[in-house]
Amino acid sequence: MNKDKQYPLPRFSVDRPVTVVMSLIALLVVGYIAYTRIPLTLFPDGFDYPRLFVWANYPNAGAVEVEQKVVHHLEEAIAQVSRVKKIRSSAYSGGGNAQVEFQKGTDLQRAFAEMKDRLDRVMPEMPDEIEQLWIRRWDQNDIPIMEGAIVFDTP
């Protein structure tokens, strides 16, 4: 059997070194261009959750008091916002929060503005100790890539 037919790729590489080197350089250039243009994100673009988070600090208050005086008002105000799919709220000593999930395709900037307006209207019904309600949009880039902790025993 002829060795040229048995090993065609090495024979081609030896016979045409300039073609092989130019092909490798072109492949490296295209790879570099693709590498520099690909955005680095933790999740793909279509992975956004249409969610907003609301929380309030109510110092020196128990969970039951927070539920009655804060969380109940939050839920009523949030329920009036359009395209709300689900509300999950919790009360704890010192404050309360609500996680608001919207229907897919909801414009979160508009929902944020509408929710801020509703919460500003309910603010006079809140206890005086609550100075401000915080609203935050869930962003996939807020998730840390890594978390660490240092623990040591004291003698």
Per-residue pLDDT tens over the stretch 94-115 = 999 999 999 988 888 999 999 9
89 and 29 both lie in a single domain: no
Angle at CA of residue 92, ends 86 and 96, nearest 5°: 50
> pLDDT of 29-58, one tens digit each?
999 999 999 887 766 666 667 899 999 999
Q: Are 112 and 126 in contact (CB under 8 A)?
A: no
100 and 131 both lie in a single domain: yes
28 and 72 both lie in a single domain: no
pLDDT at 47: 65
Domain of residue 33 covers 3-37
With a pLDDT cut of 90, the percent of the chain lying above it is 63
Q: Are 49 and 72 in contact (CB under 8 A)?
A: no
84 and 118 both lie in a single domain: yes
Cα–Cα distance, 18 to 120 (Å, whole number): 72
User: In this structure, is residue 12 part of a structural domain?
Assistant: yes
96 and 62 both lie in a single domain: yes
Q: Are 102 and 50 in contact (CB under 8 A)?
A: yes
Cα–Cα distance, 116 to 89 (Å, whole number): 17
- Which run of H or E residues covers position 90? strand 84-92
Q: What is the pTM of this model?
A: 0.62
DSSP string, 100-155: EEE-TT--HHHHHHHHHHHHHHHGGGS-TT---EEEEE--GGGS-S----------
User: In this structure, is residue 63 part of a structural domain?
Assistant: yes
Q: How many Cβ atoms from other residues are within 10 Å of residue 147's Cβ?
A: 6
128 and 55 both lie in a single domain: yes
Residue 151 phi/psi, 5-degree rounding, is -130, 135
23 and 87 both lie in a single domain: no
Map tokens 């609550």 to a residue.
130
Total count of domains within the chain: 2
8 and 68 both lie in a single domain: no
